[in-house]
Structure 1
Amino acid sequence: MISLRQLTLARAAKVLIEDASVQIHPGQKIGLTGANGSGKSSLFALLLGELHAEVGDLFMPPGWMIAHVAQETPALDQAALEFALDGDAVLRQVERDLAAASAADDGHRVGELHGRLSEIDGYGARARAAELLHGLGFTDADFAKPVAAFSGGWRVRLNLAQALMSRSDLLLLDEPTNHLDLDAVIWLEGWLKSYPGTLLLISHDRDFLDAVVTHIIHIENRVLKLYTGGYSDFERQRAAQLAVQQSLFEKQQRERAHLESFVERFRAKATKARQAQSRIKALARMEDVTAAHVDSPFTFRFREPASAPDPLLDLREASVGYGTQPILSNIELTLRPGERIGLLGRNGAGKSTLIKLLAGEIKPLTGTRSEGKGLAIGYFAQHQLEQLRPDESPLQHMLRLAPQTREQELRDFLGGFDFRGDMAQAPCGPFSGGEKSRLALALLIWQRPNLLLLDEPTNHLDMEMRHALNLALQEFDGGVVLVSHDRSLLRATCDRFLLVADGGAPAFDGDLDDYRDWLNQQRIQQSAANASPEKAVRREQRAATQADRQAVLAKRRPLVKELEQLEKKLAGWQSEKAQLDQRLADTELYEASQRALLHGLLKRQGELTQTIEAGEERWLELHAALEQLPSL
């Protein structure tokens, strides 16, 4: 059990958590929430021993193995699969010991270590590592690639795989879904559900938290409080607490009435398609969600577009790719005002490529891309963050966009994105990923787009900002095309989905639950397809080899055990006989008065001589039996 007792935690002279007392029991899965800078990552640092409490005590079970995701990955020549296997420190130690014993030609030790390898399921370790990498989006061809060959986001996935490979008692995960796409998020969700250890998870993904955690620890105003249930349960409890405060309660009621009105308007025009019905349910659920976020620092709406061409954008028989090689072909897509489309598909299928085609960043290889007159695209992708000027402030970025607008109006607008006071004038270079994402969104929204193309817009955004973006998208009158691993955003925003797969982008007849089932079916089919006759033969051969190894080990173990016991006994017998021989060399023993003692000692000497001779004969037999066994 992990126990915090009256603990105060500070960083850089700033108190983050004060007088905290909480107990975390083995096997609990806990979501750690709170505003950015509230102390979540510092609490992880405390558990890892990188930070110490100012006051109070932290108790942890002795010998617990802690796993966490490394922040940096050097450009290693090591293969990806071997890098993931390094997470299993126990396995790697046995492998090192086995190599040393083999080099020393120590057959006894080799036998012991092969037994240990079997005990820890070391023979299946590579299969487990391959399963982890597959789940996180890597292909078989990636396994042998050096770590240095992967981009930053993929190296983060490798670090995650290494952490999951660990035989940990406590697993600390800080925003593990940030660099994952939806299919990898769904896979990780299932893996964490079955994780037997204790989990502490920092995440801003509501659906992910609801699916995985059993408790929430929330940090607010330097107070750490434990809630039972998932994130939705926490929101309901927090909404009730906020409602006690009259001013917030009144604001809650206004926000709730506003959202209820929107839900009814959407219900009236929605089709009976399953996706639309799912969205109605998601919007209705947001009434309670809004109540829990009524004190959010973010309040913004999309500005009304200057025009609304219909259609906004039209693709006809379009193919898109790089060079002359198409990734997607025969794309037929018409985007109209009010159209809300989510792009689904596995990693590498072409979702971001399709977004770039819609944005006009790349041209179709064949077919046509036609823009409506007055089309104004608001395109958000992670590489947009790199285009921010690091030496300029949020206010300077806004003045560059709107030099004729009054400064106070721009400051008021930035305040809705929580850039207030000095922060509005601070250079954005040192900003966090979340702050840069908020600034990029603010710049996009100011330009009054009528078509939003959003590629993973919630990366690095906290729960409050995600909720504010969700609300703003509900009232946006233009078209939306969205790629996101945030299922709550997809459910509440999209009326229909396209499935980017197998070189095309047809309509997907279903909702996100259907997509999860489709992913599972794809994995089953892929496993079946990989089961070629040659692979089946190799698997059988490996199984036969493993069975032979186990049979040899089964025969070797009792022989080695008997040999070890016999060597200890022989050492004892020989020591006793040496002492007897020394006593019998004493001439006083041979006097008449010592005859009885002498007789007893001579008898014991004879017994020991026979016992030692029999033991040595058995020792030779055991060695001969071990030498006759096949080598491992």
Structure 2
Amino acid sequence: MLNFKNIAIRRGSRQLFSGASFTIHKGQKIGLTGANGAGKSSLFALLRGELHADEGEFSLPPNLEIAHVAQETPALSCSAIDYVLDGDQALRRLQAQLAAAEQAHDGLKLAELHAALEHAGGYTAQARASRLLNGLGFTSEQEARPVSSFSGGWRMRLNLAQALMCRSDVLLLDEPTNHLDLDAVIYLQDWLVKYPGTLLLISHDRDFLDAITDHIVHIEQGKAEIYTGNYSDFERMRAEKLAQQQSSFEKQQREIAHIQSFIDRFKAKATKARQAQSRIKALERMEIIAQAHVDSPFGFAFPPPKRMPNPLLKIEEADIGYGDKVVVKNASLSISPGDRIGLLGPNGAGKSSLIKVLSGQMPPLAGKLQSAQDLNIGYFAQHQLELLRLDESPLWHLQQLDKQATEKDLRNFLGGFDFRGDKVNEPVGPFSGGEKARLVLATLVYQNPNLLLLDEPTNHLDLEMRHALSVALQEYQGALVVVSHDRHLLRSVTDQLLLVAGGRLQPFDGDLDDYKQWLAEQKKGDEAAAGADSANNVSRKDQRKQDAERRQRLKPLLDAVKAAEAAVEKFHQQQRDLEELLADPAIYAEQYKEQLKQLLSRKSQIDSALEQAEMDWLAAEENLQQAE
């Protein structure tokens, strides 16, 4: 149990929260929410022993294994999979002790350590690490690459995998989805649902929180309170609580009326497509929890675009990629006013490349790109945060867009993005990632685009800002194309899904729940689901023929997997037999010295053979998955 009794935490002269009293029990999954700077990360630092409470008492059981994601990754020369294996510190300790015992020729100790290693799952650790890396988007080839060869975002994925590899009692995750695509988010969600320990999770992804957490600790106005249930349950409880405050009543009613009017308008023109129905449900849910966001510091809207040519933008038979590498072939897409498109697809399939072509950031390798004369694109991508002038202020950035605007009008506009008072004149350099993202979005909204192209717009944004962005995008009258791992945003603002996969761009006939199922079927090698192509209709006879050909084609690979599995089991059995012999104290008598030497030599050979067999098994599995 983690016990918090009247805890108060300060940062300098500022008190983050006080009087926090609650208990977190073994196996609970806790979501930590609150505005940026409220004290969530400080609570994590308290758990890790990096800071002490200014008031109150915090206690936890002794010898708890607490895992968290490192924020820095040194440029190491070790392989990615070895770096992840370092997360299992118990395994590494046993391996070090084993090496020392071998060096000392301590046979009794060797036998004890080999038994302990097997009990600790040491012989399957490599396979566990490989599965983690695969789930987080790494290929088998990347597993062997040195850590130093990866970019910052991929190194953060390695840090996450290392934390998950630890057999922890308590796991602390601070925004783990920030550097992940939707596929990896879904994998991580499924992993955390099964995690047997106690989880404390800071996240601004409400679908992610809903699927995993059973309690929410919310920090606001100097208080940290615990709520039973997931994030949606917390929102409803908070909405009911705030609805009872008369001072907020009128604003709440305006917010409810605003969302309800949009639902009514949307229902009148929505098709029966599953995406549209999903969006209606998302909007209706937003009406229920409108009160929970009544005190949000954010409030902005996209003004109606001045001109709306039809179509706005069109690509025909376009090849998309870099240099000689084509990632999407023969893509055609026409974007009209009012279109609200979400792009789905595996990591690296070409979603961001497609957005870049649509935005004019890079040309298609082949085919046509046609833009309307009055097209006004608002393009958001993470690299644009790096284009901000760090020595200039938010006010300066808006003044560059509109020299005629008064300072008062620009200040009022920036206030909707929570840049107020002296903040509007402060240099951007020291701003957090979330503040920089809000400023880029503010400049985008100010330019009144008629086509929005958004590539992961919610990275670094907290829950309140994500909610405000969702509300603003619902009423936006232009066209929208968005790539996002935030499923709530996709459900709320899109009514058409396109799939970028297998080098093709095609409609996705389903909603996000169907997409999760599609991903699962992809991993199983189900070609019918992977195609997601309604035009691919074949007769039963042809289907049987294709299935037979597929089985014949895969038979050598399936046989290789079975042979590898058999080899692993054989060496495991031999290893167990030898460990049983080595566990007999009599074998260490002086008269059996030569036999002991032979047994230890044989044990070393079997250990090496088992390790190679496990690697062969993984390789055979990988070959089979690629062929499927």
**Taking structure 1 as the reference length, what is the TM-score of the superposition?**
0.89
Instruction: Please name the residue that 1:270 is paired with.
Output: 270
Report SS of the residue matched to 2:224: strand
What SS does the aligned partner of 2:501 have? Answer: coil
CA distance in 2, matches of 1:417, 1:114: 59
Paired position in structure 2 for 1:161: 161
Equivalents in 2 of 1:187, 1:531: separation in Å? 26
Match of 1:509 in 2: 509
> Which residue identity does 1:240 align to in structure 2?
E
Matches within 5 A, 1:113-512: 113-512=113-512
1:387-409 Cα shifts (integer Å, max 9, x gaps): 00000000000111101111111
The SS at the match of 2:504 is: coil
Measured against aligned partners, the alpha-carbon deviations of 1:406-431 in whole angstroms (never above 9, x if no partner) come to 11111100000000000011001100
User: What amino acid is aligned across from residue 146 of structure 1 in structure 2?
Assistant: P
Query: Secondary structure of the equivalent of 2:43?
Result: helix
Distance 1:392 1:348 in 2: 35
Q: Which residue of 1 aligns with 2:565?
A: 539
Note the C-alpha offset of 1:189: 0.5
Task: Name the counterpart of 1:60.
Answer: 60
- Alpha-carbon deviation of 1:67? 0.3
Q: Secondary structure at the match of 1:262?
A: helix
Counterparts of residues 571-610 of structure 1 (less than 5 Å): none
Q: Which residue pairs with 1:79 in the alignment?
A: 79
Cα deviation, residue 326, structure 1: 1.2
Q: Secondary structure at the match of 1:506?
A: strand
Per the alignment, residue 602 of structure 1 pairs with none
Q: Find the counterpart in structure 2 of residue 555 from structure 1.
A: 581
d(CA) in 2 for partners of 1:551 and 1:430?
Answer: 62
Matching residue of 2:536: none
| Alignment partners' CA distance in 2, 1:309 and 1:550 | 74
- Contact between 2:411 and 2:424, CA under 8 Å: does it hold in 1? yes
Shift in Å at residue 207 of structure 1? 0.4
Report Cα offsets for 1:339-397 as digits up to 9, x if no partner.
01100011111110010011011111111010012000000000000000000000000
Q: Determine if the alignment matches structure 1 residue 39 to structure 2 residue 39.
A: yes
What are the superposed Cα offsets for residues 126-180 of structure 1, whole Å, 9 maximum, x if unpaired?
0000011011110101000011111100000000000000111110000000110
Deviation at 1:249, TM superposition (A): 2.0
Distance, in Å, in 1 between the alignment partners of 2:24 and 2:456 is 33
The secondary structure found in structure 2 opposite 1:505 is strand
Cα deviation for residue 537 of structure 1 reads 2.8
Q: Equivalents in 2 of 1:293, 1:622: separation in Å?
A: 77
Paired positions, count: 576
Q: In structure 2, what is the equivalent of residue 631 of structure 1?
A: 603
1:154–1:526 distance in 2 versus 1, CA, 3 Å: farther
Give the distance between the partners of 1:173 and 1:359, measured in 2 at CA.
34
Report SS of the residue matched to 1:18: strand
Q: Unaligned stretches of 5+ in structure 1?
A: 565-618
Distance (Å, rounded) in 2 between the aligned partners of 1:391 and 1:399: 15
Distance in structure 1 (CA, Å) of the matches to 2:37 and 2:492: 28
The one-letter amino acid of 2:345's match is G
Rounded to whole Å, the distance in 2 between the matches of 1:274 and 1:241 is: 34
User: How far apart, CA to CA, are the structure 2 residues paired with 1:491 and 1:144?
Assistant: 38
Q: 1:244, CA displacement in angstroms?
A: 1.2
Q: What residue is the counterpart of 2:537 in the other structure?
A: none
Q: Work out whether residues 107 and 582 of structure 2, in 8 Å CA contact, stay in contact via their aligned partners in 1.
A: no
| Partner secondary structure for residue 184 of structure 1 | helix
CA distance in 2, matches of 1:12, 1:524: 53
Give the C-alpha shift of residue 626 in structure 1. Answer: 4.0
Deviations 1:6-51 (A, max 9, x none): 1111112211121211111111100001111110000101111111
State the alpha-carbon separation in 2 of the partners of residues 388 and 303 from structure 1: 24
Counterpart Cα distance in 1 of 2:526 and 2:386:
37
Q: TM-score, normalised to structure 2's length?
A: 0.90
Quote the Cα distance in structure 2 between the aligned partners of 1:631 and 1:176: 41
Say which SS state the counterpart of residue 196 (structure 2) adopts. coil
| Distance in 2 (alpha carbons) for counterparts of 1:271 and 1:19 | 51
Cα displacement (A) at 1:451: 0.4
* AA of the residue aligned to 2:435: E
Shift of 1:540: 2.6
Rg larger in 1 or in 2? 1
- What corresponds to 2:518 in structure 1? 518
- State the Cα deviation string for residues 585-624 of structure 1 (Å, max 9, x = none): xxxxxxxxxxxxxxxxxxxxxxxxxxxxxxxxxx456656
Letter of the structure 2 residue corresponding to residue 380 of structure 1: F
* Contact map agreement 2:575 2:603 (CA 8 A) in 1: no
Give the Cα–Cα distance (whole angstroms) in 2 for the partners of residues 103 and 287 of structure 1: 68
Distance 1:40 1:91 in 2: 31
Query: For residues 335 and 622 of structure 1, what CA distance do their matches in structure 2 show?
Result: 82
**1:55 CA drift (Å):** 1.3
- Give me the whole-angstrom Cα distance separating, in 2, the residues matched to 1:404 and 1:57: 57
Match of 1:604 in 2: none
**Does the 8 Å CA contact 2:33/2:216 hold for their aligned counterparts?**
yes
Aligned Cα root-mean-square deviation (Å)? 1.6
How far apart are residue 107 of structure 1 and its match?
Answer: 2.0
**CA displacement at 1:554 relative to structure 2:** 2.6
**1:23 and 1:325 mapped to 2: Cα distance?**
54
Deviation at 1:198, TM superposition (A): 0.5
Query: Letter of the aligned partner of 2:346 in structure 1?
Result: R
Residue 531 of structure 1 and its aligned partner are, at CA, apart by 5.2
CA contact (8 A) 2:346 2:501 kept: yes
Deviation at 1:523, TM superposition (A): 1.2
C-alpha separation in 2, matches of 1:47 and 1:97:
29
Contact between 2:312 and 2:336, CA under 8 Å: does it hold in 1? yes
Deviation at 1:276?
Answer: 0.8
Identical residues among aligned pairs (%): 58
Question: Is this contact kept in 1: 2:587–2:596, CA < 8 A?
Answer: no
SS at match of 1:20: strand
1:628 to partner: Cα distance: 5.6
Distance 1:533 1:322 in 2: 38
Distance 1:162 1:531, change over 3 A: farther
Using the TM superposition, give the Cα deviation of residue 548 of structure 1 relative to its aligned residue in structure 2, in angstroms: 1.3
